[in-house]
Amino acid sequence: MTTHEQLKEKILKNQSVRELYKTSEPEIDRLDVILEARKADGVTQRELAETMHTSQPAVVRIEKFLAGNSQNIPTTSSLKKYAEALHGQLVIGIKTSNGHLLLREL
């Protein structure tokens, strides 16, 4: 089975894909973090969906949002279930104009 890193390396050998990747790096970096979190727990989207009592397409929509690839905003409840299913915790933050970061764990 091909790992995420192996597939990424193979795909980036294509010049046009590599150029597109460079313009999409922030979104791809966030997606990598999400995929790594699931991979670290050894959890598939389908297994995560079962834990969350939802569908696999719902998990896809959450991951697209978290990666910055979707305008569909999941509910706070869905994000919290996602975080808890990965043994994490949902944290919401606000960065003020003077640089202060205000965080709230849900």
**73: pLDDT strictly greater than 60:** yes
In CATH terms, the fold of domain 4-105 is 434 Repressor (Amino-terminal Domain) (1.10.260)
Summary mean pLDDT of the chain:
79
81 or 5: which leads in pLDDT: 81
Give domain limits for the chain: 4-105
- Split at pLDDT 50, 70, 90, the class of 23 is low
Residue 63 CB-density burial (10 A; 0-12 exposed, 13-18 middle, 19+ buried): buried
51 or 64: which leads in pLDDT: 51
**84: pLDDT strictly greater than 70:** yes
21 or 48: which leads in pLDDT: 48
Are 61 and 70 within 8 A, CB to CB? yes
Angle between helices 76-85 and 56-66 (to 10 degrees): 100
- pLDDT for res 33: 72
Phi, psi of 62 (to 5 degrees): -65, -45
Phi, psi of 101 (to 5 degrees): -115, 120
- pLDDT for res 3: 67
